[in-house]
Amino acid sequence: MMTSPSSVNLALIWLLCCFTTQAVNRPDRTFYMDNSQQQCGDRDYFVYNEVNTVQLWSPDKTTIVQRTSAEECVLRFSALPNSRVLRVTFPEIMDLPCNIGVTLTFYDGNGVQTDILKTICGNSKPQDLLATGSHLAVKLTKISVPATVDTKFKFQVAQLTDDTNPAVGQSPFYMDNLEKECDQTYTLQTDVQYMVQAWGTQERTRPAGDKCQMSFKSIYETMQLRVHFTQFISPCTTGQAVLYFYDSRDQTAEMRRYTCRSQVPAGIVTSGQYLTVLLDRRGSTEFDFSFNVSIVNEESTMATPTALPGFVTHYFSRPSHCDTRISLTAVSQNHLRAWAPGARTDSLAPQDCVMTFHAQPDHVIYVHFEELSMPCDGRPKLTFYDGGDKSKALMDIFCSSTPPEDFRTTQQYLTVQLQRRNNTALDFAVLISQETADTGGLGAGAVAAIVIVLLVILAASAVAAVLVLRRRKIKKENSSLDKGDTTGQGLLEMDVPTGENGTSDDVPMKDMTRI
């Protein structure tokens, strides 16, 4: 029996419709990073059109006593089709105190060996995160907290759809287009991002000039600009190209310079509304890069966080913030930033700035890095000292772009010194908070009370020992009397008058035992 082509087409259309309906109607999923559902581990979760909600604790852990420990957990998500990218949104404020040593890290790829998008801790509502491709990984470090500390978070992973994708200002800017796109200033709206690439679509050739400069400006004076790299390749050859980023409308405040590397650099955030990019090819064509420029969202943790409750920001670029002592409280979290908005071009920015932090009694100070870029040029140095002066260094940081592991002081004072040495390319963001000193869970007052109780017990024990010895002595002397001691030395507890013959005047000796 022959089947007509129209029947075959109808069957194919029916199958396609069924498949499409199944894809659209995929149910939303929920993941629990305490691994109560055995969801963590070496596997990929494919993301279609559904929303994937990720929470810290499973629903059966309803009390804070049940939410004290969890092993390290890694989740991996992959978008299908793989031409899509993934977006992370935070529907509510998270509660993951930085001073308990627990962090949530998002990776821009299919595993924890890929570039870090963001490491998050604290009590705030983080900004949305956007992967550069179809893969995203997230890792929660091991949790072990006392029952007095509550932790929670929730975020959602979904495909980036057309209605949530920031609008692209125009076709990518090419830095080999010297005539039309170099030496221009471009203004950004809040919902627009500009794409910048090293080369146009034409065959790669050396342009007439070696340098191309582009400047970008936020439409709002109070909003900063963000640079997010998607590619960077620059081999270490003679005459290698250099890509410069300046925190200003011209080349007066260098932030970063990149050359001779194949890893995608971390993101950059300006301190003000201007960004200038300069490419110096130096005769080379053996390089490539691409990045996006956009306005920093108002909820971004990279922006000045003073609007958040309990947050105070201290700038090493402000003379009034240097040589100061800052007292910490149980609810305050202090941000240390290298630059105040627009300060990279300020000639009055100090070259050497020192701040001292003072925790409450029975507390130490906890240090958490959010970002770090300490270039090698000029050897600027950031030093942390364990105490109220500079006699005991905890850590020296220079010539590094890798944030160190969290660390603590051994006492209630911390001193921080930045030696800038005329470098404007450095940058960092550090979170300072206090936590209870590790004295076995006891403060100094409790320890003193225990010492007093122990002293009282020792004194009582000494008195008891004296009484025991005295009773033993009495017992021994009475025992001697019972054996025929007639000297009277055994009658220590009797007041009996004696006569001339050594006995009572009125009572015969044989009756003394009945008295």
CATH code of the domain covering residue 392: 2.60.120.290
pLDDT at 292 over 60: yes
pLDDT band at 82 (very low <50, low <70, confident <90, very high): low
- Asked whether residue 115 falls in the same domain as residue 183, the answer is no
Mean pLDDT within 118-144: 84
pLDDT score, position 275: 93
Render pLDDT for 28-55 as a digit per residue (tens, 0 to 9): 899 999 988 899 988 889 888 888 999 9
Q: Do 155 and 219 sit in the same domain of this protein? A: no
Residue-wise pLDDT tens digits, 174-229: 888 777 788 888 888 776 778 898 887 555 666 667 899 999 988 777 788 889 88
Q: Which of 285-289, 418-422, 425-429, 478-482 has the lowest mean pLDDT?
A: 478-482
Whether 125 and 252 share a structural domain: no
pLDDT over 80 (residue 85): no
Are residues 223 and 109 part of one domain? no
Instruction: Please say if the pLDDT value at position 417 is more than 90.
Output: yes
Per cent of the chain over pLDDT 70 is 77
pLDDT for position 68: 84
Rounded Cα–Cα distance for residues 250 and 509 (Å): 122
* Residue 464 is assigned to a structural domain of this protein: no
Please say if the pLDDT value at position 288 is more than 60.
yes
pLDDT given for residue 109 in this prediction: 85
- Tell which of 436, 451, 482 closes a domain: 436
pTM, 2 dp: 0.45
What's residue 496's pLDDT? 45
Mean pLDDT of 389-413: 90
Establish if 387 belongs to a structural domain.
Answer: yes
DSSP 228-295: EEEEEEB---TT--EEEEESSSSSSSEEEEE-SB-SPPPPEE-SSSEEEEEEE-TT----EEEEEEEE
Q: Are residues 48 and 177 in the same domain?
A: no
Looking at the structure, tell me whether residues 182 and 223 fall in a common domain: yes
Query: Which of 265, 295, 325 corresponds to the end of one domain?
Result: 295
CA distance 396 to 4: 79
Sign of the alpha-carbon torsion through 94, 97, 98, 102 = negative
Domain boundary among 98, 127, 159: 159
Higher per-residue pLDDT: 118 or 311 = 118
Residues spanned by the domain of 311: 305-436
Higher-confidence position of 219 and 395? 395
Residue type, 334: N
Residue type, 432: I
Looking at the structure, tell me whether residues 352 and 279 fall in a common domain.
Answer: no
Tell me the pLDDT band of 447, cut-offs 50, 70 and 90: low
Q: Mean pLDDT across the stretch 326-343?
A: 82
The residue length of the chain stands at 515
Report the number of distinct structural domains present in the chain. Answer: 3
Q: In the prediction, which pLDDT does 298 show?
A: 43
Reported as a single tens digit per residue, the pLDDT across 485-510 is: 544 444 444 444 444 444 444 444 44
Same domain, 323 and 277: no
Residue 244 has a CB neighbour count (10 Å cut-off) of 19
Does one domain contain both 213 and 263?
A: yes
- pLDDT band at 140, cuts 50/70/90? very high
Do 24 and 146 fall within a single domain?
A: yes
Residue 89 included in any domain: yes
| Residues 257, 337 within the same domain | no
93 shares a domain with 13: yes
Mean pLDDT estimate for the chain:
78
What is the model's pLDDT at position 367? 93
Is the pLDDT at 76 greater than 50? The verdict is yes
Query: What are the two backbone dihedrals, phi and then psi, of residue 471, each rounded to the nearest 5 degrees?
Result: -65, -40
SS3 label, residue 504: coil
